Amino acid sequence: MPKKDLYHDNVKNALIHEGWLITHDPFYIQFGEADFLYIDLAAEKIIAAEKKGQKIAVEIKSFSNDSAIYDFHLALGQFMNYRIVLEEKEPERLLYLAVPLDTYQSFFQRALPKRAVERYELKLIVYRTQKEEIAKWIN
């Protein structure tokens, strides 16, 4: 099983504070006979008025290496692969990439990450690391 991200528990707690039920930690998916993937979290939220739930999977990134662009390359590759698997295995589940607020305000405003988010229609959860709260959902 892969090592948890630096802010794994912070994001998990933030989701719980917003009413999400964590259903998998991590979310294990087998694709084909030889590929085994672990997405950081899976969660569900029941919406009383609609009587149906929302399902999400969340890949958490801290962007704590010296190179944000390197971290972004890795995160984007993971995200795209996870999206392929979820589209086939659990098409009702939305995939989000969770990123720290300071990284979103600096790195994600640059031309390349901005364009990649638009082109690949990345869904983001922007989180505050110390307060364990979600600052913004970007769909």
The percentage of the chain sitting over the pLDDT mark of 90, rounded to a whole number, equals: 86
What is the pLDDT confidence band of residue 5, given thresholds at 50, 70 and 90?
confident
- CB atoms under 10 Å from CB of 63, counted, come to 22
Does the pLDDT of residue 52 top 70, yes or no? no
Average pLDDT over residues 116-138: 96
Confidence of residue 115 (pLDDT cuts 50, 70, 90): very high
What residue segments make up the domains of the chain, in order of their start?
Answer: 19-49+78-97
Q: Report whether pLDDT(46) > 80.
A: no
Q: What is the mean pLDDT of residues 9-37?
A: 94
111-116: long-range contacts at Cβ-Cβ below 8 A with a sequence spacing of 24 or more? 112/69, 112/72, 113/72, 116/72, 116/76
pTM confidence score? 0.92
Nearest to 134 by CA among 38, 58, 74: 58
Provide the pLDDT for residue 49.
55
pLDDT at 48 over 90: no
pLDDT tens profile 72-103: 999 999 999 999 999 999 999 999 999 999 99
Percent of the chain with pLDDT over 70: 95
